[in-house]
Structure 1
Amino acid sequence: MIYILGGRGRLGQALSALYEPTEFVCLARADYEAWPTAGADAVRSYFSQVKSAPSVIYVCSGLLDPRLSDEALLAVNYHLPRTVIEGVEALGTKVVTFGTAMEHGLTDNRYVKSKVRLGEFVEQANAAGARATHVRIHTQYGEGEPSSFMFLGQILTALRSDTVFAMTLGKQLREYHHVEDDARAIKALVSNDVVGPVDLAHGQPVTLRSLAQAVFDSQGKSHLLQVGAIPEPAQDNFDRVFSVPASLKTHTFRDTLPAVVEYMKSRMNG
């Protein structure tokens, strides 16, 4: 049986849609919210009582906002998945955790730090006999509103309110992935028994400037976009292009700019 923690979120819903209703269980938050402090024994106790033993556990629960406290970020982004891995290790269960592509460089971000710590633990746990996969994901869109503090969320706020959108020169490189494409890719990684950290990449990044221009132009509101109005970040990805994992070479992803434009149109009309 497949178990999903965080099944109400964007990624959890997309993963659920790939399985038959009889193949998975979405745990209620009340089932696992105490696990970060209760420890691995609580996880072992829970899964010792379920009707069907877990074959795969997706830990989709996560907090993205770097403005949150270290304590809050670590509890959900690190201690929860760590506790799950430790709790089911004896069962031979595959545990899938999620990180961020920013783990490779943006080290002054508290959210990223929590994910770096998780990725390091996954490697240590696997060396000791666990079966965990740490999927480093890029920016996702689709299925509902973009987070208000994220780039697309900020753009959407400006478009809806007809206010100026000030940004950097926008030379930063980003991969944008539709969450449904990522869910299919994650399922493929699990089917291929990929373990350890893996970058879920399609290798086709766009600049933030090109993304913003495409969205504002599509709405006939390019006059709201002020490129170069704020300073460039000291630390970001300006040149790295990620390699596509071998197990995803034949996987298809949507073309970023037209797909994001359509998504943003749907949110403007929603």
Structure 2
Amino acid sequence: MWLVNCSNCQTPLRLPPCATSIRCSICRAITYVADPCRAPPARTYSCNKYSAAPYQPPRPPAAAPLPYNHAPLSPPPSPYGRKRAVICGISYRNAPYELKGCINDAKCMRYLLINRFKFPESSILMLTEEENDAYRIPTKQNIRMALHWLVQGCQSGDSLVFHYSGHGSQQMDNDRDEIDGYDETLCPLDFKTQGMIVDDEINATIVRPLPHGAKLHAIIDACNSGTVLDLPFLCRMHRLVFDDGWECNIKMPITILIF
């Protein structure tokens, strides 16, 4: 049996078990209460004084054990970040300037990235004349889209690779940012009709958007490729030419500046 105060005259009333309301016999007012079977204990009457019984809040359910001391549910992410590559090999078949071995270079690079550097196959975009997908033929538009894909959503820790094997060339520098007055270019499959890809565009597409901590390795096997990414620094390798015509590359100390 619980005691509650009348909501009007404050007279103590005996509340029947599990009752939700009671009428005062003095002022006839009705007092509504919460379900006493679920509510915390009401005030109790003792020695003509009211004392509030201490309320004991329900205990929260025990938290599930954290898996810190258990084996992880899935492999941890790679400490080297995500990996992505664009590989382009162009042979210019049946053209007077046809090249031999460029598509084979692209296949070898793909094999190297997958088997040696553990690049996922799905993260490598191949552009060669042997591809069945029209969007993977190395046209100017497709190469442009591939370069944008390479850096899209790039984050610190990502490892990116751009490999190109094909023709390279030069054209007049229109914005006067080249010392020699010429921009370096890559020659897509349709460069005769659509034009070449200029180093200024390559720099703006895959170099400038790189966030701090991301790495880009560009391997360009083409003529005039030394500054095709328009980087601010250039490393030249010195060579010695002997009397018999043989050339010997001397490995010079190289300082790599990372920003």
Instruction: Compare relative contact order (CA 8 Å, sep 6+) and give the higher one, 1 or 2.
Output: 1
Tell me the TM-score normalized by structure 1.
Answer: 0.32
* Structure number with larger C-alpha Rg: 2
Q: Which protein is richer in strand relative to its size? A: 2
Q: Which protein is richer in helix relative to its size? A: 1
Tell me the TM-score normalized by structure 2.
Answer: 0.33
